[in-house]
Amino acid sequence: MTIRLACWSGPRNISTATMRAWENRPDTEVVDEPLYAWYLAHTGLDHPGRERVIATGETDWRRVVDSLTREWPDGPALQYQKHMAQHLVAVLPREWIAQLHNVLLVRDPAEVVSSYLRSRATVTPDDIGVLQQLELQVQLGSSAPVIDSADFLRAPESYLRWLCDFAGVPFTDAMLSWPAGPRPSDGVWAPYWYDAVVRSTGFEPYRPRRVELTPEGEEVVAATRPAYERLYDARLVL
């Protein structure tokens, strides 16, 4: 029976690089942001490539959830689901999430917002996923470990080994490096967001990031900082 590992991240994190690590395993299928088309169709938000994302994706959340949770006796050993936590808008039921092996991947909101505003003109607290991640942590409790991206980048092999144990699959060194270039599994939004990952061949070593915030960005960081600090306090430390 296929194990379903769902990673709930916010934007401008290492979620796509982490997806590369899992995709480089011979026994794993990856799914890239399966709720994105529904999210854009429901919210009406104007993201890069919006019409193509909607046209090529599934806009019925029930079908998406069924594809992510149904039994798959002939499937691969593991399915890695890369999710954006901000796609969990209030009207979307969340009971199904407990059927998955869930991980919350967090990042300091100041770094997230600073990076986000280099690609987008505006940002709101709901755009960066931290509030939704805290809601998931409250819903799922200790069954959903929290991993901070800065910790992960300081010791990627240690965290990948832990995640493999959590998912019940053996670790392989293939997760630590991968060939550069796009993947057929990348979402159609990849040309707008994945430039750095497409050039990558592994996880970059951790380094402090330059943070530049507009007044609007400062307000978003202030609104999300308490949620991030609660998640950070609950994070997995190896």
* Total Cβ atoms within 10 A of residue 41: 17
| pLDDT band at residue 210 using 50, 70 and 90 as cut-offs | confident
**Average per-residue pLDDT for the chain:** 96
* Total Cβ atoms within 10 A of residue 80: 25
CA distance 33 to 149: 19
Q: Say whether pLDDT at 119 is over 90.
A: no
Stretch 14-39: mean pLDDT? 97
Token readout for 186 is 């990348």
pTM of the model: 0.96
Q: Say whether pLDDT at 125 is over 90.
A: yes
Contact status, residue 107 vs residue 227, Cβ threshold 8 Å? no
Contact status, residue 238 vs residue 155, Cβ threshold 8 Å? yes
Q: Say whether pLDDT at 205 is over 90.
A: yes
Q: Which of 19, 27, 8, 5 is nearest to 178 (CA)?
A: 19
Contact status, residue 150 vs residue 111, Cβ threshold 8 Å? no
Q: Say whether pLDDT at 26 is over 90.
A: yes
pLDDT score, position 215: 94
Stretch 63-87: mean pLDDT? 96
CA distance 227 to 234: 11
CA atoms within 13 A on the CB side of 85: 26
Q: What percent of the chain has pLDDT over 90?
A: 95
CA distance 197 to 199: 5
Token readout for 94 is 């969340």
Token readout for 155 is 């010791």
Stretch 137-155: mean pLDDT? 97
| pLDDT band at residue 1 using 50, 70 and 90 as cut-offs | confident
Instruction: State the amino acid at position 75 in one-letter form.
Output: G
| pLDDT band at residue 118 using 50, 70 and 90 as cut-offs | confident
Instruction: Say which DSSP state 176 is in.
Output: G
pLDDT score, position 209: 87
- Taking only the tens place, the pLDDT of each residue in 29-58 is 999 999 999 999 999 999 999 999 999 999
* Total Cβ atoms within 10 A of residue 114: 20
List Cβ neighbours of 78 (8 Å cut-off, separation of 6 or more). 2, 3, 4, 5, 22, 25, 27, 28, 29, 167, 169
Q: Say whether pLDDT at 121 is over 90.
A: no
